[in-house]
Structures are given as C-alpha cells and as structure tokens.
Structure 1
Amino acid sequence: MKFKQIQLSPSQLLVLVFLFFILLGTLLLKLPFATPESVNWIDTLFTATSAMTVTGLVVVDTAADYTVFGQAIILILIQIGGLGIMSFAVLIFIMLGKKIGLKERLLIQQSLNQTSLGGIIQLIRNLFIYSFIIEMMAMVVLAFRWVPEYGWKHGVYYSLFHSVSAFNNAGFSVWPDSLMRYEGDPLVNIVITSLFIIGGIGFTVLSDLWHKRSLKNLSLHSKLMIYGTFIINISAMIMIFLLEYQNTLGPLPLNEKLWGAYFQAVTPRTAGFNTLDIGSLRESTITLMLLLMFVGAGSASTGGGIKLTTFLVILLSVITFLKGKKHISIARKTLKDKLIIRSLAISTISVLLILTAVFILNMTEPKPFLDILFEVVSAFGTAGLSMGITADLSPLGKVIMIFIMFLGKLGPLTLAFSLARPEQENIRYSSEDILTG
C-alpha cells in the first residue's frame, strides 16, 4: 500500500513549526519545577503563545507564578520567536557545515518576509551577530543601574531578561507593573527604548546601515523605515505629552513628563513595556495608540503589526490618487503595482480579523468596547500593552486572543498562503470599469 507524500509549501511548514514550538513551550511550562503553583492549561498556552509571538500580554504574574526555570523557558521562546525559528535552523546548519538548499532558502525568505533570495544567508549571520552584541551591551549598561539596587545575582538577571525581552519587542517584565517604577529614570528609558526601536526597525535595515554607512546610499526600504520611524515617534511623543499633560503626566516634574511621553509614544510600536498606567490614559490617547499598534514595526524585525512600510505604501497610494497621478513615486523611485496590491491585502485581512475578534469578544466578554478593541489590536500587533482585562477574559476569550497573537506574528498573508492553493493565471479577460466611491 502506497501513501501519497504530503508536499508542504513554505507558508504551511512555517505555520506548523511555529505551532510545534508553542506546544513544546506549553508542555515545558507545565513541568512541576517551572512554576511554584500549577497554572491551568489555557493560561500556560496563553503565556507560551505570548512569548513565542513576542507579544507580552500576560494572564499570570511572570515573576510570581513562574520559577527561574519557567522564566528561562519564556526567555528562550522570546528569543526564538523574535529572531525567527528558521534563523536558528540556519545557524545550526551553518555550524554543522551543511549546505542550505533552495527549499530551506524559500522557507527563510517566507519567515523573514524578504522579497528575494539574494543574500539571505548573510542576512541570517548578521542577524545573530547584531542581536548578540546589542543584547549583551544593553545588559551591561542596565547592570550598572540594577546591580546596586538588587545585588549581583538579581541585578544581572533582571538586566539580561529585560535586554532580551526589549530587543525582541516582547514586553515581558519580571515586575507586575512593567517599568512604571522607572518612568523618570533616564538610563532605563534610553536603553529599553533604544533596544525595541533597533529591534523593530528590521534586520534588513541594520545590515544595510552596516555595509553602506551612509543614509544617502541606503535602499528605499531602509530610508522609509528610518525617516518614517523618526517622524512617527516624534509626532506621537508631542501628541501624548499634550494629551496627558494634565492627566497621567500631571503629578510628574517636567523632565519626567518628557520621559513618560517619549516612552509611551514609542512603546506601541509592538514593544509591550509601559511606564504609564494604560488604564488611566485618556480615550484620545488610547485612540492614537491603537493606530500605532496597528501599524507596528518594520519588516524582517522582531515587531508585529501590518508594518510601517505597508502603511506608507497605502498612504502614498492615497496621495497619488488625490494628485491625479497614475504611478506612485518616492525618492525618484516608482513602486510596483504588486506591492500596492500586497499592502492593501495585508491591511484588509488584518482589519477583518480584528473586527471579527472584537465582534466575538463583545458577545462573550462583559467588558467595555474600547477595552476589548485595545486588547485585540495589541494582540494582533504583538504590542503587549493592556487595559488590564486580559487576565479576566473567559477561556473562550483567551483562546481567541491566542489565535490573534499567532496570526499577528506570522502575518495574515502567511496564513492565507498556507490555506490557499496558488493558481496559475493563464487567462486574461477583457477589462470593464465599475463605479466606486
């Protein structure tokens, strides 16, 4: 009796591998020495998914409900999820001296959201080198702050944990209030924000900067990411400073107001840490953060969201249409039509997934609409920020959030490609206009 060999596409294999590591992490976190008191299966699965997808949403206290072993498992899942499963597989292949074939390269291309196979192995090498150096440097700097406060053992551990968590945009903290106790601390603010901004800008950009050493010679993608990140972060900081000046920032001196506004402006770009109480923010500030979380970080980064470049392509498309032009041009470059279609597909699928999840949760959870919307967008953008309702969700609500975090990390198109069968476009029909608008 012959069995037909199952052929999996790169997208399908990526989904299965991701699921495997989430389930493996869940089993490891259920071990007796991973937690002082047993955590139920749903909460354990939620924690493993949140770590693997580098989201940072929590339903239990990471420090109180997990031992050092359990926290180490969470940290490993964060590192694997942030840098990518296939990146680690390639590293092992390289260490063993094995050749990376076309199928493996296609899988890496899918996992890192790259447009071509050229230079992809070199990108993986650079990814690990940059990550290790940046995380270790940040750990040393944070140790100067936390070793005097907590002693060598805890100070170094806290520095390592938060360095890895911040660089991978995970947002996990050993403190239940995240980093609120350091809202006015310049060193902690600078190091942590630098980590998740660098991690969120994308490894392609970092590699481009390293090799070209000049903004003028960078690729269009790198330029859009650098300038776009700078403009959005500064604009968001000014808006949050003004919106929260008499609210959450009210009791703070001016310098701490500035630090608080800055941190809260950059953290929605999928970082997950907070120095201000999210539940106390004005609704206008929450609305701004919803947009920032939905947009997210950069492609081939540790962050989530629809990605900044996707948002910029759609924005440029609108501007081009309003100007009456036929082609989208920027920096003396013309964007391809398939890039516009891809960006629209990503955004449309993302909005539909978020609305579906919000619709279901509004039926199952007795929570305010804005709170539910915030949690869902945070989960999809792997931002990890919370209005404080995640732990109170029903088992069904937590399962829905797990699914949204999973989709947010892999990307809606990856799941769509894994389920759909690609069809060859052999026939081209005559065109006809329809009325729109």
Structure 2
Amino acid sequence: MRKKLISSHLLKGKIINLSPPQILALSFLIFILLGTALLKLPVASTTYISWIDALFTATSAITVTGLVVVDTGTDYTVFGQVVIMTLIQLGGLGLMTFAVLIVMMLGKKIGLQQRILIQEAFNQTSLGGLVRLVKILFTFTIILEAIAFMILSFRWVPEFGWKEGMYQSLFHTISAFNNAGFSLWSDSLSAYVGDPVVNLVITGLFITGGIGFTVLADVWYKRSFQRLSIHSKLMIIGTIITNAIALIVIFILEYANPATFGSMPLSDKLWGAYFQAVTPRTAGFNTIEIGDMTTASIVLILLLMFIGAGSASTGSGIKLTTFIVLLLATITFLKGKSETVVFRRTIPSRTIIRVLAITVVSNLFIFLILFMLTITEDAPFLMIVFEVVSAFGTVGLSMGLTGELSTFGKQVIIVMMFIGRIGPLTLGFILSKPKKSLVRYPDDEVYTG
C-alpha cells in the first residue's frame, strides 16, 4: 500500500489530498448516490420505490452483489433496468478502468497519479504494464460479452421473440460476466436448471470474470502453463479443484433431497450440482431454491462465498489465492519448515502477513455485522449468517431474508456490500492512515496455541 498522497484538483482550484484507497472508496460512493437518484426517478420504476430500497439496489449493482429487496424484472422499468445494468458494468470492470479509457480516448497520457490509482484498483504490486492490462481487460470484455450475447440470443429469441430475447440476453450477459447475479426473473435461472446452453454460457462468463484480469492477461501473453506466474497457476488450479470438490459434494448431499434434486432426472441433477457449485464464488445466480438445500450444502456454500473469487476480478470475498496461501502457510508451520514454498518459489513473509490480516479483518467485519443483525432481525440464525456472508462476498445468493430485512437491516447490509467490494483492508487503511515506523524494538516471546 502506497502512503504517498495524491493531489486531486477539484472545483475552483481547491486541492484535496486523498490517498488511492480513499479515491476508490469515494468514487464508489458517488456512483452509488448517482444510481440511487436515477432509480428514484418516476420513469425508473413501475411502482413506488422507497429511498432505502433505491439505495440498496444501487449499492448492490455497483458492488456487483445481486441481493435485491424489490423484483428487478417487474418493479423497475426498462430505464431502471438499464441504470442497474450500467452500474453493474461500471462496478464490475472498475470505475478506474473506465476513467483511464476515457483519458486514452481523449489522447492524453496516463500520468503517475492515474497509474497509482489503477495499481490500487487492481491490487497490483508494480506500476509496470498497468495501461496494457486495462486495454486487454476492455478488449477481452467486449469480445467475450459479445460472443455470450449472441449465443444466449440464439437460445432466448425463439422463446421470447427478437426484442425481448435479445434484451434478456444482454442483461444476463453483463450481469454474469461481472459476477452480479441480477436477473430479470424472480426465480433467477431456475427455469433452466437442466439447460446446457444457459448453464455453460452463464457459468463460463462468471468463472472467467471471477478468475481475475491479471490471470487472463497472463494467459493471453504467456500461452503456456509453465510460463505463467505463481499467482495465475494458483488461481487456475485452485479454481478447478474448488469447483470439482463443490460439485461432487453438492451432488451427493442434494441427490435425494425432495425439495431440490429429488424428482429431477440424472442429467438435471448433474447440471444443478454444477451450477450451485460454481455460483457461490460471487456469481449470485441460482437454478434451484437456495433455502431448500440441505444444511450441509448451505454450510459449504457459506465457505465458498467467504473464499470468493480471484484478485483483480469482478468478484470479492477474501479471494481464492488468499485462502490457498493461508492453507500453504499452515501446512508449512505444521511441517516445522521456515519458508512457504509452492512451484519452487518462496512466498514472501509480507504476503503471508497480508493474508492473515485480510482473513482476520474480514472475520471481524462479518462478526460485527452478524451481531447487529441478530439483534434487529427476526429470522433463523443460519439465514442471517448466510445473508451477511453473501453481502461480504458480494455474491447475491439468499435464503429468502433480503426482502424481509428491516430498514436498519438494509442499511447494515448496504455497508457490508460496500466493505466487501472495496475490500476490508482498503477500508482499514482509509480509517487508520498507516505510517511506516523507523523504530525497531527487541524481540520477545508470546506464548500461543
């Protein structure tokens, strides 16, 4: 984290010194307020939408969460849905990405201040290659969303007609790639639980969006697994293993559950298990009712939501690489070794300390929000835990509590979605204003364990 402050020139020549984390947080807040104002316009809704519900929806969209307190497909007009879709695209790719693209289109150079902001937004350790990363990200996004849009159009135009079918395809394409989980249907994608096209396209979009833009750029340029960075290797292998384990476990746990897979043919059970296995890593779509799943499956989904997607991706959570490094460091300690090694490379101690900080701070925020909601909300404990972790991971899955939240509960979840999107450590740096100490003290022993 850079301590150097960035001077931002505002109206009338005034200068406000803001750090990169503060600028990123402020930009999200501005677009949340702008989105709220647009969603409150009479032209945006088909029924009365309160200020708190508009704020909740705007926050959920810009943080690409997907939790909803009103029905997106029926309570908002096409104008309101386009506002939501725009917020999703801005929030998923990152506000700084679009700012840099605008600067480049105007023919201006990307200065040091802008590069530091990009570095912060994409959680990078170096200033090198950031502009190239943004270009790759934008190009890749346009190409992938265009391909997915065409495939889904072939599937939904015959069912809904040209206008409706293409609109549904566009909305769900943008929502899926950005890991938002917003759907124009009240039951999400439950009608397509056994549809191979919808399953593969939607999951392909949010898995790709969630793996991380740095990984995508790395694969694009290296095109060889052996030449990839350690981060990319861990993300690819970790994603495959995590998804495979989750698929097998959910298939077994839900196989005979009469409320979910019980009456389905085997092919639908497999597709259902696959979709529910990969969607908790911040996607938010579902093809079966989450509240009907077994308690064991819900606990597994809780873990997957907490882990989240990849660094510099459209998803949140503590991030998959954080979880992997945490496991590797634990194994290293249990084996009595002094260095954590993977793929013949040593993971620096500063990375391990950062991983521990992310995990601890995330758990503290989850506990605090959970504690408040257990006081104000009249709901089963597991439903409240699920809602909080879903908001933290900006997942969007729910056991049915979102629409029943009190006004205070909605406010708390709004805060949690915001924390989940900007990252708990970023918020910690904003609040604490850390300074590097030049003083070192002697070591001493603290007994633990």
Interval containing the TM-score (normalised by the shorter chain) = over 0.9
Q: Which residue of 2 aligns with 1:309?
A: 321
Q: Is 1:183–1:276's contact at 8 Å kept on the other side of the alignment?
A: yes
For residue 320 of structure 1, what is the amino acid of its counterpart?
T
CA distance in 2, matches of 1:311, 1:419: 25
Which structure 2 residues correspond to residues 112-151 of structure 1 after superposition, within 5 A?
A: 112-151=122-161
- Which residue, out of 271, 274, 290, partners 1:262? 274
- Cα deviations by residue, 1:43-94 (Å, 9 ceiling, x for unpaired): 0000000000000000000011100010000000000000000000000000
Q: Which residue of 2 aligns with 1:167?
A: 177
CA distance in 2, matches of 1:13, 1:137: 34
Q: Which residue of 1 aligns with 2:53?
A: 43
- Cα deviations by residue, 1:14-48 (Å, 9 ceiling, x for unpaired): 11111000000000111111112220000000000
Q: Which residue of 2 aligns with 1:334?
A: 346
Q: Which residue of 2 aligns with 1:33?
A: 43
CA distance in 2, matches of 1:366, 1:305: 26
Alignment of 1:156 with 2:166, yes or no, is yes
Q: Which residue of 1 aligns with 2:431?
A: 419
For residue 11 of structure 1, what is the amino acid of its counterpart?
P
Q: Which residue of 2 aligns with 1:271?
A: 283
Q: Which residue of 1 aligns with 2:241?
A: 231
Q: Which residue of 1 aligns with 2:374?
A: 362
Q: Secondary structure at the match of 1:6?
A: strand
- Which residue, out of 55, 61, 65, partners 2:71? 61
Q: Which residue of 1 aligns with 2:308?
A: 296
CA distance in 1, matches of 2:292, 2:317: 24
Q: Which residue of 2 aligns with 1:93?
A: 103
Q: Which residue of 1 aligns with 2:81?
A: 71
- Which residue, out of 13, 38, 53, partners 2:23? 13
CA distance in 2, matches of 1:169, 1:223: 22
CA distance in 2, matches of 1:71, 1:5: 37
Alignment of 1:214 with 2:219, yes or no, is no
CA distance in 1, matches of 2:66, 2:21: 24
Q: Secondary structure at the match of 1:314?
A: helix
Q: Secondary structure at the match of 1:334?
A: strand
Q: Which residue of 1 aligns with 2:6?
A: none
Q: CA deviation at 1:7?
A: 1.0
Q: Which residue of 1 aligns with 2:447?
A: 435
CA distance in 2, matches of 1:270, 1:413: 19
CA distance in 2, matches of 1:137, 1:330: 36
CA distance in 2, matches of 1:139, 1:424: 49
Q: Which residue of 1 aligns with 2:383?
A: 371
Q: Could you state the TM-score of these two structures normalised by the residue count of structure 2? A: 0.96
Q: Secondary structure at the match of 2:17?
A: coil
Q: Secondary structure at the match of 2:281?
A: coil
CA distance in 1, matches of 2:62, 2:134: 19
Q: CA deviation at 1:368?
A: 0.5
Q: Is 1:46–1:402's contact at 8 Å kept on the other side of the alignment?
A: yes
Which blocks of at least 5 consecutive residues in structure 1 are unaligned?
none
CA distance in 1, matches of 2:336, 2:302: 31
- Of stretches 210-219 and 414-423 in structure 1, the one that deviates more from structure 2 is 414-423
Q: Is 1:12–1:419's contact at 8 Å kept on the other side of the alignment?
A: no
- Which residue, out of 86, 111, 116, partners 1:106? 116
Q: Is 1:273–1:385's contact at 8 Å kept on the other side of the alignment?
A: yes
Which blocks of at least 5 consecutive residues in structure 2 are unaligned?
1-12
Q: Secondary structure at the match of 2:437?
A: coil
CA distance in 2, matches of 1:433, 1:359: 33
CA RMSD in angstroms comes to 0.9
- Of stretches 114-123 and 79-88 in structure 1, the one that deviates more from structure 2 is 114-123
Q: CA deviation at 1:6?
A: 3.0
The 3 A distance-change label for structure 1 pair 24 and 146 is: same
Q: Which residue of 1 aligns with 2:360?
A: 348
Q: CA deviation at 1:425?
A: 1.6
Q: CA deviation at 1:5?
A: 4.4
For residue 15 of structure 1, what is the amino acid of its counterpart?
A
Q: Secondary structure at the match of 1:7?
A: strand
CA distance in 2, matches of 1:422, 1:55: 29
CA distance in 1, matches of 2:177, 2:14: 43
Q: CA deviation at 1:102?
A: 1.0
Q: CA deviation at 1:105?
A: 0.9
Q: Which residue of 2 aligns with 1:395?
A: 407
CA distance in 2, matches of 1:6, 1:174: 41
Alignment of 1:185 with 2:192, yes or no, is no
- Cα deviations by residue, 1:377-432 (Å, 9 ceiling, x for unpaired): 00000110000011111000000000000000000011111122221221111101
Q: Which residue of 1 aligns with 2:420?
A: 408
For residue 9 of structure 1, what is the amino acid of its counterpart?
S
Q: Which residue of 2 aligns with 1:383?
A: 395
